[in-house]
Amino acid sequence: MTEMIATRDAYGKTLVRLGEIDKDVVVLDADLSKSTKTHDFAKKFPERFFQMGISEQDMMGTAAGLATCGKIPFASTFAIFASGRAWEQIRNTICYSNLNVKIVATHAGISVGADGSSHQCIEDISLMRTIANMTVIVPCDAVETGKAVMTAAAMKGPVYIRLGRAKVPIILNEDEDFEIGKGKVLIDGSDATIIACGIMVEKALEAAQKLRVRGGTNCRVINISTIKPIDEQLIIKAARETRAIVTAEEHMSKGGLGSAVAEVIVENEPVPMRMIAIKDRFGESGDPGELFREFGLTEDDIIKAVEEVVKK
Amino acid sequence: MFGLEEQMSIEKLQVKATEIRRDIIAMLGEAGSGHPGGSLSAADIVTALYFSVLNIDHKNPRREDRDRFVLSKGHAAPLLYSALAERGYFPKDELMSLRKFGSRLQGHPKIGSPPGVEISSGSLGQGLSVANGMAMAGKLDGKDYRVYALLGDGEIEEGQIWEAAMTAAHYKLDNLCAILDFNGLQIDGPIVEVMNSNPIREKWTAFRWNTMEIDGHNFEEILRAFEEAKKIKGKPTIIIAHTIKGKGVSFMENVVDFHGKAPTKEQTRQALEELS
């Protein structure tokens, strides 16, 4: 059985490690530190942890101020409040000033489950990737989360990292390297390419395996954890070699990973494409498994999309 | 203290403030758009800061232990640019490029453009949070620099200001001093009509700030307030400065329309004459 770890847990542990290595790392949270897991850092380095209360806009501005003085602020809250509530602070104060603020948002997507739509952010990839200077990363598992957080801290400039609430299986090996802006081919194939991010990478892998066993369709699977800047070369190569693309994300189809991939394909190598994503509706309460079925985000949905797109 | 060789006398500050007002008018006249009213109202406060209060070094604009000034009411950009140019951060000739394509002097401030602009601003309500972050970093690093933030009275209608007000008090940011440019007018009219935020001083007191009220055009009061603020420990200070929108130009004083309207050529000439 694969080990299951929530990406937010990996974040909490990595932050503590980072705090030990780099004294300029400071952490801000808006009254959700036990959920975002910044609590571990707060316990270990209380003088470098700023509890901001329930005020996300102020948190982003404060993080910006700290960054102008050479600090490396990590600002955390739920994705909906980070990317939604504080969007304009992120745009005008952090990104326009190109400040070294790392926004690590947890509880993204419908896998939040029972809390319902108000807390299930399905728009953040779109909201964050439209801001100039911003880097957007959606890690697929705990291993990649750790590396993404360390790498984000080491680079200059604003970064948004999207994490989930639910436990997800470990997919990647600890010894694999991580580079911002680079996707990874996890399974090679020549009949179609599934490009996925976050929690959907595991489902893409399962879909590819089933397709291979079932009908001899050989799918390439790409984990594209950096949504911006996106790995254009890898996407163009996949389009050229496999002639069919399916994207998979736990996000609205409008503006998310699928849109980002489509932007690359349309301009460079137009091929048939399908997007597995949430179609213009809000989430709702329920068990993540039920919700993924209801919203068309299962491996069977990916399989169906691949079959359609290969036929075209 | 580094930077200025000697602090300016009040007479010299008054002269400098007039020069800055002339810059503002000339820049806006040339640009053909922009915000004279709130630039002129805060001119004396900003002159006092840049020529008497701030520990800054124009030869080393990013010096780590410098005092920070955040222009939260970013539409007063011409005032900031003029103060920086007068203080030697960049050539005064460049002031006339305000709002033009390719200029470092954007319509609203952009960080580092020109050197000395500490943070991008212009979207109201965001600067106090930034100032808090700077003050927190100063405390964390054990540095004794101070942080100043200039707020507009219309600006404090933004909710984020009050989030930041709580934060500054919660973290006891006594190295932070906000100044409220209380000129009583905003774009759509008098503040009491648009959105009555009174009683203002009581609000800041209730948010656990040290508060002072001064005449924002009286240099003695301005300088004394900044000195007193330095002595207050354990809480941030806000100086509520009563000012006149459009101060110094007869036909702009207390005229709402000059919030965001540049003077015509004739008005520019007339205003410069008044300010000579």
- Are A275 and A253 in contact by the 8 Å Cβ rule? The answer is yes
User: Matching CATH topology for A4-169 and A184-311?
Assistant: yes
pLDDT at position A216 is 84
To the query of whether residue A299 is one of the catalytic residues in this protein, the response is no
Topology classification of domain A4-169: Rossmann fold (3.40.50)
The predicted-structure confidence for B100-157, as pLDDT tens digits, reads as follows: 999 999 999 999 999 999 999 999 999 999 999 999 999 999 999 999 999 999 999 9
Tokens at residue B152, please? 């507009």
CB < 8 Å to A58, chain B: 129, 132, 160, 163-164, 166-167
Report if residue B246 sits inside a domain: yes
pLDDT at position B98 is 98
Report if residue B237 sits inside a domain: yes
Residues in chain B: 276
CATH number, position B139? 3.40.50.970
Looking at CA atoms only, how far is residue A158 from chain B in angstroms?
15
Tokens at residue B103, please? 């200029």
As for how many domains chain B has, the answer is: 1
Does A94 contact B at CB distance below 8 Å? no
- Are B113 and B106 in contact by the 8 Å Cβ rule? The answer is yes
The predicted-structure confidence for B42-60, as pLDDT tens digits, reads as follows: 999 999 999 999 999 999 9
Does A62 contact B at CB distance below 8 Å? yes
Topology classification of domain A184-311: Rossmann fold (3.40.50)
Could you say which of A3, A56, A174, A267 is catalytic? A56
Closest CA to A297 of A115, A128, A109: A109
Return the half-sphere exposure (C-beta side, CA atoms, 13 A cut-off) of residue B147: 31
Residue ranges per domain, chain A? 4-169, 184-311
- Rounded-to-integer distance, Cα A212 and Cα A303, Å: 10
Q: What is the mean pLDDT of chain B?
A: 97
Which of A68, A74, A99 to probe the B interface (max B CBs under 10 A)?
A: A68
Share of chain A above pLDDT 70, in %: 100
Residue B203, pLDDT above cutoff 60: yes
Beta strands in chain A (DSSP E): 4-6, 25-29, 49-51, 72-78, 102-106, 135-137, 159-162, 167-169, 184-187, 192-196, 219-223, 226-228, 245-252, 273-278
Q: How far is CA A280 from CA A94, A166, A260, B161, in A?
A: 29, 23, 17, 34
The predicted-structure confidence for A4-40, as pLDDT tens digits, reads as follows: 999 999 999 999 999 999 999 999 999 999 999 999 9
Which of B63, B129, B161 to probe the A interface (max A CBs under 10 A)?
A: B129
Pairing of strands B237-242, B176-182: parallel
Cβ distance of B160 and A50 shorter than 8 Å: no
The predicted-structure confidence for B213-247, as pLDDT tens digits, reads as follows: 999 999 999 999 999 999 999 999 999 999 999 99
Residue A100 host element (H or E)? none
pLDDT at position A95 is 98
pLDDT at position B5 is 66
Does A71 contact B at CB distance below 8 Å? yes
Share of chain B above pLDDT 70, in %: 98
Report if residue B85 sits inside a domain: yes
pLDDT at position B58 is 95
User: Can you give the residue range of the structural domain that contains B134?
Assistant: 10-274
Global ipTM: 0.97
Strand partners, B152: B181
Residue B2, pLDDT above cutoff 80: no
Report if residue B258 sits inside a domain: yes
- Rounded-to-integer distance, Cα A45 and Cα A51, Å: 12
CB < 8 Å to B116, chain A: none
Strand partners, B149: B70, B178
- Are A95 and A134 in contact by the 8 Å Cβ rule? The answer is yes
Closest CA to B149 of B172, B170, B166, B165: B165
Residue B1, pLDDT above cutoff 90: no
pLDDT along chain A (312 residues), means of 10: 91 98 98 97 98 98 98 98 98 98 98 95 98 98 98 98 97 95 98 98 98 92 98 98 98 98 98 98 97 98 97 78
pLDDT at position A214 is 87
Residue B273, pLDDT above cutoff 70: yes
DSSP B110: B
